[in-house]
A and B are shown apart, each in its own frame.
Chain A
Amino acid sequence: EAGVTQFPSHSVIEKGQTVTLRCDPISGHDNLYWYRRVMGKEIKFLLHFVKESKQDESGMPNNRFLAERTGGTYSTLKVQPAELEDSGVYFCASSQEQGFFSYGYTFGSGTRLTVV
């Protein structure tokens, strides 16, 4: 089975520009998550989709971040306008059922975002 796919793998943009990250979860996985790791910090939860609905978006840092999952398949995370502190690695993960304690997530390789 194909894994979780993220692209681009790297993105370098200027402060003030817009960037859109995409995540394709494993086919059939209803749960999709976004996490990020900013430089020198731990990986932190951003939000969780169940199908196309936002189950938990408590980790979204501010209103410059917009996540969507139209049709309950792939998801996009848009940063507009990007700031220097948004630089980091953005991870996407998916899981099949609510019981992640038993199954764990499957993570993608991440998108490394650099804002200059």
Chain B
Amino acid sequence: AQSVTQLDSHVSVSEGTPVLLRCNYSSSYSPSLFWYVQHPNKGLQLLLKYTSAATLVKGINGFEAEFKKSETSFHLTKPSAHMSDAAEYFCVVGLNTGFQKLVFGTGTRLLVSP
């Protein structure tokens, strides 16, 4: 079965410092992986997606993620955190069952302090 594990429920950083949100996946196929973000009282917004093209994926707002098959990881990074990055982030895998179903991780809440 395909699944994702987000290793941290909360991550705290200072503004201007790097962000690392960790995600490991489990899949018997080449997975489709996504990162979504949810700001307070907003919908889920797609940050970036990996669909077996380039292993380093660039997303919106300066975020990027690297697909590492050997480590079964898809960590999300950003060189310099902004206050506006404070939100909850979800690592997601798309099921290759012919149906369009997403399986979410439990989420990582990013806190950014001044």
Contact = CB atoms under 8 A, between A and B. Distances in A.
Contact of B102 (A55, A98, A105, A106): A105
Contacts, number: 58
Interface residues of A, number: 29
A9 B43 CA distance: 11
Interface of chain A, helix or strand or loop or mixed? mixed
Interface string A75-93: 0000000000000000101
B100 interface: yes
Contacts of A4: 43
Nearest to A97: B100
B43 A108 contact: yes
Contacts of B45: 107
Interface of A: 3-4, 9, 31, 33, 35, 41-45, 48, 55-56, 59, 91, 93, 95, 98, 100-102, 104-110
Interface of B: 32, 34, 36, 41-46, 49, 51, 90, 94, 99-107
